[in-house]
Amino acid sequence: EIVLTQSPGTLSLSPGERATLSCRASQSLSSTYLAWYQQKPGQAPRLLIYDISNRATGIPDRFSGSGSGTDFTLTISRLEPEDLAVYYCQQYNYSPWTFGQGTKVEIK
């Protein structure tokens, strides 16, 4: 099973700042099958990024994904108050699909 480790656990930033979230896989994904989700309090997850860097429908361009092999990054270029959420990465190349433990983004 591929283990995804996200860092930091919590990120506290001010509106307008840049947020950089990391996701590290226990082995190379050998593919582009890495996604990012946003989960706001009390809500279901929402797909942000799929295939490492493709934004899902309706996702603003201040969200971007990058990386390869074992190291992946979600960047929020200019934080907005509504970005308060937990962000999860997920790999879907190897069964069982696995998620990272999440990074909580707090807005100062």
In terms of C-beta density within 10 A (0-12 exposed, 13-18 middle, 19 or more buried), how is residue 75 classed?
Answer: middle
Which parts of 52-71 interact with other proteins (CB under 8 A)?
56-57
Largest CA distance in the chain: 38
Strands 85-91 and 103-107 turn out to be antiparallel
Show the binding pattern over residues 4-43: x = contacts other proteins (CB under 8 A), - = does not: ---------------------------xxx-x-x-x----
Question: Which of the stretches 20-28, 50-58, 64-72, 75-83 binds other proteins when contact is defined by CB under 8 A?
Answer: 50-58
Q: How far is the CB of 92 from other proteins (least distance, A)?
A: 3
Residue 98 interacting with other proteins (CB under 8 A): yes
Give Cβ neighbours of residue 44 (< 8 Å, ≥ 6 apart): none
Give the position of tokens 């295939």.
51
What are the residues binding other proteins (CB under 8 A)?
31-33, 35, 37, 39, 44-47, 50-51, 56-57, 88, 90, 92-93, 95-102
